[in-house]
Amino acid sequence: MNQILNLNATKIDLSNRNLDKIPREIFELKNLRKLILRNNNIKVIPQEIEKLKKLQTLDLSGNSISNFYAKICSLKNLKILNLNHNRIKTIPIQIKNLNKLTSLHISHNKISKISQEIYSLQNLRELNISHNKINKIENNLINLKNLRKFWISGLPLSYFPEFYFIPKSLICLYAFSPTITSFDVDTTYQQLCAIKGNAINYFNDFNYDFIFQNHNKPDIVTMKKIVKKNKVFISYSHKDSIWLDKVRNHLSVLKNHLEIDIEVWDDNKLEVGDVWKEEIRQSLEEAGIAIFLISTDFLSSNFINKEEIPPILENAKNKGTVILPIILKVCYFEKSKLGSYQSLNNPSQPFSKMSENEIDEHLVELTKKIHKIMEK
C-alpha cells in the first residue's frame, strides 16, 4: 500500500489482493490515470469514483460487481474500461457520456441487452460483449465507424446484422463458440461461431455495392444481391431420394400457404437436353440456402465432394450462403468437410432411427428456420 501514499501517483495496480472494496485512499489521488484492480472480491463501485477526474484506464475485471454504477460515466477522460468477469446485468444510458472511450470490455457478465447508447460511442475501437445473455445485435452497429475489434463469442443471438451493417473499419471479429448448438440461433452468427480465430474474412469478400436510399439516413443501405435468399439448393445422394421428397413436401408449405416466393432446386429439375453440369453450377452459384442430406452414400460420392460441396462452402464464406445439414443415417459426419456446421438433428440421432412423427417435427423446424431466413 506504500505506493498509495504517493499523492502524485498516476498508476495503481492492486490486482490479486483479495480486496473486498476499493481502498478509500485511492480517491485522494488527483493525478491518477490508470487504476487496475483485477481479480479481487470487490462488489460495489462507490460514488467517490467520480473524484478521479483524470482517470483514463479502469480495470475491475474478475470481481463480483453486480451494478455498473452510473458515476463511472462521469469520468470524461476514461478511454479504457474493463468490467469482464463480473455479475453486471445492465449498462446505464449514461455510458454515452464516455465520448473518449476507445475500449469497452464487458464479457462474462449477465447482460441481456446492448444499451443503444453504446452505438453512439464514436471513438470506440474495441468492444467485447462475449458470454452474456444478449440475444440481438442491432443494425446500429454500423454507427461505430471506428470499431476495429469485436468479440461476440458465446451469445444466444437470434439476430445478427446483415453484412452491410458491419462497420468497414472492423479488422478483427472473434465469435468462435463450439458450444453454440441451438437451432434458433441466427444462421450467420452460427456460421461465424464455427470459425476459429479472426472471422472477419467471412465479410471481407462480399462485393459491396451500396445505394443510399435516404439522404437523411445515409447509413441505411442496400446491396445488389450476390445470392438469392429465396433459392434453396438440396444436395443429396440418389440412394436417399425418399428423404428428398419429404424435405420438398415440407418446404412447399412456404409457397402454398404463406405465399413465399421460394425456389427449391435439386437435380430432378434437370430436363432432357440440359447441359447438366452448367445447370448445377449456376444453381449452386445462386443459392442463398444449401440443404445437405447427409449419409455415408452422400459422403462417399465423388461428384458431390468435387462438384457440389466446394462451391457451397466457398459461397458460405464469401457470399453468406446458409448451410443446413440434415443427418439421415449413421455416418462419419463430424469429421467431414461439413462437420463444423450445426446440423438440424444430432448426428447420433439420424432420421433413420426416428419415428415418422419425430422426423416431421424436425422438418417443421427446418421449414421455420428457412422461413425466418427469408423474412430477415
Q: Which of 115, 147, 132 is nearest to 177 (CA)?
A: 132
pLDDT, mean over the chain: 85
Q: Which of 166, 126, 162 is nearest to 143 (CA)?
A: 166
Which residues does 162 contact at the CB level (< 8 Å), separation at least 6?
139, 188, 376
Band of residue 226 on the pLDDT scale cut at 50, 70, 90: low
CA 257 – CA 367 distance, rounded (Å): 12
Could you tell me whether strands 287-294 and 263-265 are parallel, antiparallel, or unpaired per DSSP bridges? Answer: unpaired
Instruction: For the chain, give every domain's residue range.
Output: 2-212, 228-375
26-48 pLDDT tens trace: 999 999 999 999 999 999 999 99
In contact, 110 and 133? CB cutoff 8 Å: yes
In the chain the first and final C-alpha atoms are separated, in Å, by 56
Query: Residues 37, 39, 40, 45: is their CA dihedral positive or negative?
Result: positive
Amino acid at 297: D
Band of residue 4 on the pLDDT scale cut at 50, 70, 90: very low
State what percent of residues in the chain have pLDDT above 70. 88
In contact, 136 and 111? CB cutoff 8 Å: no
Could you tell me whether strands 287-294 and 228-235 are parallel, antiparallel, or unpaired per DSSP bridges? Answer: parallel
Query: Residues 297, 300, 304, 310: is their CA dihedral positive or negative?
Result: positive
In this prediction the pTM is 0.60
Q: CATH assignment of 2-212? A: 3.80.10.10
- The C-alpha cell at 335 is 469429421
CATH superfamily to which 228-375 belongs: Toll/interleukin-1 receptor homology (TIR) domain (3.40.50.10140)
111-167 pLDDT tens trace: 999 988 999 999 999 999 999 999 999 889 999 999 999 999 999 998 898 777 889
Q: Which of 85, 80, 82, 137 is nearest to 110 (CA)?
A: 85
Burial of 89 (0-12, 13-18, 19+ CB in 10 A): middle
